[in-house]
Amino acid sequence: MTAQIKDYAQLSPLLAGELKPGVLTNTLLKKEDYLREIAAGSLFAEKFPGGLLLLRRREGYQRLNFYLQRGASLPPLSFSLPTVLEIASRPRDQALRDSEALWEQAGFRPLFSRQRMARPEGLPPLPGREGLSAHVAAEEELPALERLLQECFDPLAGCLPTREELREDLQNGNVISLPGGILHMGKAPGGTELRHLAVTPSLRRQGAAQALFAAYLLHTENRASRVWVRTDNPPALGFYEKNGYTCDGWTSRVYTAGKEM
């Protein structure tokens, strides 16, 4: 039975005993993360023998995090909202990878896979095409950039920032733009993570993505960079390979269950 978590005292006993040898999990939220979700009224939980499901509600869908003790089975699952589950792993995380079959048996449908790619600090940039230049975006560009992200990325699994998160990223200089193009970044160990790179369809194949990327390297002083790329997107994979990214071993599978969005 899924229940809304209204205060930390309600959550604490559910979490107790989950973090022990052999547990499989796709996330580790800190207490402050839980407190933020609880304050926003967005945290729901379902305890079952051998594990705990945590659902974080978002606009029109929810994200699933789990703790699953090794050998445990999942209970019958039914979701009233589209539900997204992402399991990231390395080749050595075999037990976690094996658990993916359980989710499929429970009704989760694979949407796509991503692989993480890394670019070392200081790698010389490719020469850009002349005539196109991108800039650090201003807060006034928020509506247009938000529309562009929504146009180019899956609303459920595209990891889109909320309007407020995007506003904050604009204020912090974490967005590069040109008319019809956006590059959205965040912090990552030793450098930055490239979170979204998109160009409106009518402007593709004209060097806009490369211009955004050149401005990104300049803005980040060519520090180390990471990106998660869908494996079913050969143009994106080719773009990052061309720009010096290689797979670092992390992959993730994204599943969905519940009502279609």
Partner 1 sequence: MENREKLMEILTEACPGVNFEGETALIDDGILESLDIVAIVTEIMDVFGVELNVDDLLPENFNSVDAMLELIESRK
Which residues would be at the binding site for partner 1 (CB under 8 A)?
A: 12, 15-17, 19-31, 34, 88, 90, 92-93, 187-190, 250
The rounded Cα 145 to chain-centroid distance in angstroms is: 18
- Beta-bridge partner residues of 226: 118, 193
- Cα dihedral 34, 39, 41, 46 in deg (nearest 10): 30
Give 12 or 73: the residue with its C-beta nearer to partner 1: 12
Give 3 or 19: the residue with its C-beta nearer to partner 1: 19
CB of residue 105 vs partner 1: minimum separation in angstroms? Answer: 23
Closest to 57 (Cα-Cα) out of 141, 132, 162: 162
Give 17 or 238: the residue with its C-beta nearer to partner 1: 17
CB of residue 234 vs partner 1: minimum separation in angstroms? Answer: 25
- Strand segments (E) across the chain: 3-4, 24-25, 43-48, 51-58, 61-68, 83-89, 109-119, 135-136, 175-178, 181-188, 191-199, 224-230, 246-257
Give 70 or 135: the residue with its C-beta nearer to partner 1: 70
CB of residue 140 vs partner 1: minimum separation in angstroms? Answer: 29
CB of residue 116 vs partner 1: minimum separation in angstroms? Answer: 9
